[in-house]
Structure 1
Amino acid sequence: MQAWHVHENGEPGEVMRLAETARPTPGDGQVLLRVRAANINFPDALLCRGRYQITPPLPFTPGVEICGETEDGRRVVATPALPHGGFAEYALADAAALLPAPGTLDDAEAAALHIGYQTGWFGLHRRAGLRAGETLLVHAAAGGVGSAAVQLGKAAGARVVGVVGGAGKAAVARELGCDVVVDRHTEDVVAAVKDATGGRGADVVYDPVGGEAFTQSAKAVAFEGRIVVVGFAGGTIPSPSLHHALVKNYAILGLHWGLYATRNPELVRHCHERLTELAAAGAITPLVSERVPLAGAAAAVQRVADGVTTGRVVVVPARRNGAAA
């Protein structure tokens, strides 16, 4: 089979190498999956750089989210077990963590449903308690993580303000359903949010960016608002002023979705059931902006790392001679 290998840490476009290799052998409790589609996540770039929370042994195959097929023909959504990730024709996954792929979504959409939407659902509902009628501010609203939060916010009955960088991404955010779109390249984000909310600010802020975005969030959040810290795609981890949180009465909520898989996996399954229902109702549909062949995975991961993509970029391996090798 073909698989991308990372032999040393660095930028994805430089350190990912496509090679012919044997299919991985499942360990205890694992299953072999034929990869039907593998969604690219920002953590894939961090894995290549050696900057993610986990550091698989070199060499490894990145790709943390797939739609795959079991040997008995079931179509499933899975988080591959590294070092045998999803940017390959076959990957390994824990059998107990497999989830049924929604029948209303194609392979690329199903591959993009899991991590981003689970993160959004846990962040908005379990952590922030988003209520209908509240204002939700989403940073990087046209990106993979942000676009999921926008759709989930709208499905929950919230008014959504999306922050983006550039006219092209602003157009995508509007198509996603944002009620207000703020272009951080040309507008003052805090002033725009205050103007859109009559000076009150956003009840919930969803921040996968960090850095300056968090500084803006703290200024734009409403009294008794909630800021959900999802990640630091901007490259800078902020140091929040707890004094500011105290005098303004807002909460800073951390979200590490991966912990739920080990601490309370039933919640993950419940969330997947809810996401499947929302997908069936047409309330959410992963925004797949590109579908690239396996050979284009390294360049695609680099584009995601550089922040120049919108929605989700999904790798779709071709079946060779009618089946993956």
Structure 2
Amino acid sequence: MVIAGAEQAVRAIAAALAARGARTKPLRVSHAFHSPLMAPMLEAFARVAESVSYRPPSIALVSNLSGELCTDEVSSPGYWVRHAREAVRFADGVRALHAAGAGTFVEVGPRSTLLGLVPACLPDARPTLLASSRAERDEPTSVLEALGGLWAVGGPVSWAGLFPSGGRRVPLPTYPWQRERYWIATRASDAARGDRRVHGAGRSEGEEGGALRGGERRSARLVHPLPESGRRETVEAAGDRPFRLEIDEPGELDRLALRVTERRAPGPGEVEIAVEAAGLSFFDVQLALGMMLDDLPGGPTPLLLLGGECAGRVVAVGEGVNGLGVGQPVIALSAGALATHVTTSATLVLPRPQALSATEAAAMPVAYLTAWYALDRIARLQPGERVLIHAATGGVGLAAVQWAQHVGAEVHATAGTPEKRAYLESLGVRYVSESRSDRFVSDVRAWTGGEGVDVVLNSLSGALIDKSLELLRPHGRFVELGKRDCYAGGQLGLRPFLRNLSFSLVDLRGMMLERPARVRALFEELLGLIAAGALTPPPIAALPIGRATGAFRKMAQAQHLGKVVLTLDDPEVQIRVPTQAGAGLSAGDRDLRERLASAAPAARAAALEAFLRTQVSQVLRTPETKIDAEACRRRSCPRPPISSC
């Protein structure tokens, strides 16, 4: 709503609205258009309007005066004189356009001021909104983005006007991380499975590129089988051998592989668990895709132990462990849980509630601890308060919805697809909006009468963080779960916090490393709530671990509802086994791997440095005490350079 008129009267109205909690903003304009203050110029304006030639519109046009489709009225000078003086019926006009079949709205102008008002005019519709100009983008980019958006929703585009030289259509990936491989595969998992396994050979037809050496261009024409000494792995049925899910090269999900491993006997304060089911989280997907390797606690780590939660049975107990025994069903928080066996600190291993199956138990620790801790301990959500839960159909989101409803809060939620929004409504969530646009901003304001919410549980990124922050009432609490913008060094303006707002970040994995005893106390309390029926398992997509790549893709494409769990009860699953010629990791290397994954940042750095010193001393045949790291950095070491240093 725009209020125009004498300054003193307008300020008085704005002050009255502000006292009722409404936000107001003065507009910078040259004149008070569409108000009585335009009266002195109307006579002169009419004379100019009468000098212009008019014709009836050739396309459908909505009048700002009537809010309806125009007729010949716009062909008269008097119409435009009234247009300068009278109110603009924008909402009526938008509804008239929608009733006439318009579902896409494009704003052509220096600012996208009006687009943000369209959703409030059509509360029961979901129009497509496109801006031809944005303040934070250069004009050509903004126009092209709007053009692409218009084309994507079926709008007519004259491509010849944009590309006079012509072009052709090419298919694009259906999601950001989809990749296709166009070279000959050499991994053991691609070898044919039959009575006898063989290694493949093939011919490379293309010579798009090559290597230059000594002035000659060299290209590969034949791919030969590797000699026996180079065949490092075969693919075999697992049987009763232990294995874990690993990724050869972060960045490509088709590099996920199940590899034979060695079980590690528990040390003091540790237990070994035979894993029956392990939960999959978006954190695992991000690791596998190589999205945050430099952002892990303590910096990049030489291993990626996938999985952080599991359910199974204790098979061995270390010295000093009380309350856990061999054969006992347990639920655990542990790095590397996507494996048949995991040896971990007993601090975060607890007896499994009798009411939960292994699959249900594996689905709950990370998601439910995160959601409950964020809402109960950080936000301190109270009965009757309003909470906005973003991406509410994932594991954390649905756990948050459950707890908010248990507390008696008013839940506002967002989700990415109509099907997911319908599911939330079936749970009794009355206020559901979109998570892939800023539509939720106008929705929440409309649902709350402009007051906003008390708590935001956020997993969105970019500009949607600022939009969500704007929805907080005075003394509101913003709890960040996604962390993508934190890793990227994003910033927030401080002005909103003058309303006594708070901003907190919840990182359960960091807490597990830095304050395991604190996490155990929270874990015990959470399991008590689950046993009492205050929280129940989410929808679960349970897949055998042999289909791990598909499970990761399912999460990467946000196709899942609730939680994805991988089960480990298939002895016929195919795993990779190192041959004699191909050295796999030694037991010592695996032990280092697990210690690095579970160690705090400082301990991890010390262990890694000690390991590297040992390896370098073996290569150089020099005692560790004589290795001069500083000399290496200055490149003044008298020894020949060694790549492994």
Fold similarity call, TM over 0.5: yes
AA partner of residue 271 (structure 2): V
Name the counterpart of 2:361. 110
Q: Answer whether contact 1:210 1:233 (CA < 8 A) is retained.
A: yes
Structure 1 alignment gaps of length 5 or more: none
Name the counterpart of 2:25. none
The separation in 2 between residues aligned to 1:266 and 1:157, in whole angstroms, is: 30
Name the counterpart of 2:497. 245
CA-CA distance at 1:28 after TM superposition: 4.8
The separation in 2 between residues aligned to 1:294 and 1:216, in whole angstroms, is: 39
Name the counterpart of 1:37. 277
The separation in 1 between residues aligned to 2:512 and 2:339, in whole angstroms, is: 24
**Where do residues 206-217 of structure 1 align in structure 2 (5 Å cutoff)?**
206-217=457-468
**Residues 164 and 196 of structure 1, relative CA distance in 2, 3 Å threshold:** same
**Residues 238 and 195 of structure 1, relative CA distance in 2, 3 Å threshold:** farther
Name the counterpart of 1:64. 308
The separation in 1 between residues aligned to 2:427 and 2:264, in whole angstroms, is: 39
Q: Which of 233, 237, 244 matches 1:3?
A: 244
Q: Which has the larger radius of gyration?
A: 2
Say how many residue pairs are matched. 315
Deviations, residues 219-245 of structure 1 (Å, cap 9, x unaligned): 211121111011246997742111232
Q: Answer whether contact 1:200 1:223 (CA < 8 A) is retained.
A: no
AA partner of residue 284 (structure 2): D
Structure 2 alignment gaps of length 5 or more: 1-241, 316-325, 573-645
CA-CA distance at 1:63 after TM superposition: 1.0
Deviations, residues 70-93 of structure 1 (Å, cap 9, x unaligned): 011111121224xxx122211222
Q: Answer whether contact 1:68 1:75 (CA < 8 A) is retained.
A: yes
AA partner of residue 240 (structure 1): L
Name the counterpart of 1:256. 507
Name the counterpart of 2:547. 296
- Per the alignment, in what secondary structure is the counterpart of residue 320 of structure 1? coil
Name the counterpart of 2:615. none
Name the counterpart of 1:309. 560
- Per the alignment, in what secondary structure is the counterpart of residue 422 of structure 2? helix
- Per the alignment, in what secondary structure is the counterpart of residue 250 of structure 2? coil
- Per the alignment, in what secondary structure is the counterpart of residue 258 of structure 2? strand
4+ runs deviating over 3 angstroms: 24-29, 184-187, 232-238, 258-267
The separation in 2 between residues aligned to 1:262 and 1:184, in whole angstroms, is: 31
Name the counterpart of 2:416. 165
Q: Please, what TM-score do these two structures have when normalized by structure 1?
A: 0.88
The separation in 2 between residues aligned to 1:236 and 1:289, in whole angstroms, is: 32
Deviations, residues 17-66 of structure 1 (Å, cap 9, x unaligned): 122333344455332211111000111122223415244423x4411111
Range with bigger deviation, 226-235 or 39-48: 226-235
**Residues 262 and 154 of structure 1, relative CA distance in 2, 3 Å threshold:** same
The separation in 2 between residues aligned to 1:264 and 1:21, in whole angstroms, is: 29
* RMSD over equivalenced CA pairs, Å: 2.4
The separation in 2 between residues aligned to 1:280 and 1:272, in whole angstroms, is: 12
- Select the structure that is richer in strand: 1
Name the counterpart of 1:49. 289
AA partner of residue 269 (structure 2): G
CA-CA distance at 1:118 after TM superposition: 1.0
Among the aligned pairs, what percent are the same residue? Answer: 33
The separation in 1 between residues aligned to 2:280 and 2:450, in whole angstroms, is: 38
**Residues 18 and 264 of structure 1, relative CA distance in 2, 3 Å threshold:** closer
**Residues 135 and 44 of structure 1, relative CA distance in 2, 3 Å threshold:** same
Name the counterpart of 1:75. 329
The separation in 2 between residues aligned to 1:302 and 1:233, in whole angstroms, is: 19
**Where do residues 131-142 of structure 1 align in structure 2 (5 Å cutoff)?**
131-142=382-393
The separation in 1 between residues aligned to 2:467 and 2:438, in whole angstroms, is: 12
AA partner of residue 38 (structure 1): A
The separation in 1 between residues aligned to 2:397 and 2:284, in whole angstroms, is: 17
Q: Answer whether contact 1:130 1:204 (CA < 8 A) is retained.
A: yes
